[in-house]
């Protein structure tokens, strides 16, 4: 199963991704893929060291950009028109298909059954945009075969850019994290539209829900698609402030996982 966790900046995507991964890892093999080039804290929430950028596996961003210019080849070795998706094209970057056991260990952090990989971060002033990270994310996901007990949870960057890059086309579902803000509630409609366009089911996780605002949050989304209502929890906030692992078990996350496992 491939799950994209998305939402507005600061809505709680990384928190939900980390809690979900830890809960799902009790019964599944989980890979968390960090595609947020400008956040540096997900690994701490999972209690791991920061993984090396997968982009380095391909020689770094500069070399990756060079490879991007090469025409795609068909699986029979012949040339196809650049960019045309014939279904037989071989990746310009991957020589063979990967499953979890092929993931290069020097780019994977692991704790229990949770693996963490990061596509790439912005490290230096003036190094250029993050578009190559978007391309690598798309190709990596296209090239990854999952076994029946494998789950990929993608912690996306804030907002909508990953939809523009077409990263979300291979997901089974989008989990949209909604915090109590006008912007987030507005954006939830847009995420619904993107979900329809890329053929993914869209579900919502309401985050930082408090009794006096619950009704308003529920009214702004399609109620049947709300899978969890996570309360505002001081422990979560404090742990992230100190850069500590999220060791909390929430019944809302347990129920969410139960639902996901039965899809």
Ligand X SMILES: Nc1ncnc2c1ncn2[C@@H]1O[C@H](COP(=O)(O)OP(=O)(O)OP(=O)(O)O)[C@@H](O)[C@H]1O
Binding footprint of ligand X on the chain (CB under 6 A):
7, 9-15, 36, 39, 158, 207-208, 230, 232-233, 236-237, 240
Choose the contact partner of 207 out of Mg ion, ligand X, none; CB within 5 to 8 A by kind.
ligand X
Nearest distance in Å: CB 90, Mg ion: 33
Residues 6+ apart with CB under 8 A from 263: 1, 172, 173
Q: Which residue is nearest to Mg ion (CB)?
A: 14
Distance CA 193, CA 200 (A): 10
Residues 6+ apart with CB under 8 A from 147: 29, 99, 100
Residue in the block written with tokens 């279904």: 87
Nearest distance in Å: CB 221, ligand X: 17
Identify residues 24-63 at the interface with Mg ion (CB under 5 A). 39
Nearest distance in Å: CB 99, ligand X: 28
Choose the contact partner of 134 out of ligand X, Mg ion, none; CB within 5 to 8 A by kind.
none
Choose the contact partner of 168 out of Mg ion, ligand X, none; CB within 5 to 8 A by kind.
none
**Between 13 and 162, whose beta carbon lies closer to Mg ion?**
13
Q: Which residue is nearest to ligand X (CB)?
A: 240
Nearest distance in Å: CB 237, ligand X: 4
Q: Binding to Mg ion by residue 184, rule CB under 5 A? A: no
Q: Which residues bind Mg ion (CB under 5 A)?
A: 13-14, 39
């Amino acid at each position: 199963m491939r799950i994209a966790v998305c939402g507005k900046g600061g809505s709680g995507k990384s928190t939900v991704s980390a809690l979900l991964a830890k809960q799902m890892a009790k019964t599944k093999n989980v890979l968390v893929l960090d595609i947020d080039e400008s956040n540096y804290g997900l690994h701490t929430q999972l209690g791991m060291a920061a993984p090396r950028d997968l982009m380095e596996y391909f020689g770094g961003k500069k070399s990756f950009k060079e490879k991007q210019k090469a025409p795609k080849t068909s699986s029979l070795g012949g040339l196809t028109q650049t960019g045309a998706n014939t279904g037989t094209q071989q990746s310009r970057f991957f020589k063979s298909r990967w499953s979890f056991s092929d993931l290069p260990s020097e780019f994977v952090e692991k704790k229990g059954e949770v693996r963490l990989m990061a596509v790439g971060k912005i490290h230096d002033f003036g190094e250029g945009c993050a578009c190559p990270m978007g391309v690598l994310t798309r190709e990596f996901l296209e090239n990854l075969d999952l076994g029946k007990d494998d789950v990929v949870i993608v912690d996306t960057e804030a907002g909508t850019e990953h939809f523009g890059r077409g990263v979300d086309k291979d997901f089974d579902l989008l989990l949209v994290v909604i915090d109590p803000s006008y912007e987030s509630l507005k954006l939830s409609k847009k995420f619904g539209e993107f979900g329809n366009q890329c053929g993914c089911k869209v579900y919502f996780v309401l985050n930082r829900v408090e009794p006096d605002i619950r009704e308003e949050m529920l009214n702004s989304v399609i109620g049947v698609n709300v899978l969890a209502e996570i309360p505002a929890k001081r422990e979560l906030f404090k742990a992230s402030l100190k850069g500590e692992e999220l060791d909390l078990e929430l019944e809302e996350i347990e129920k969410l996982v139960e639902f996901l496992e039965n899809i």
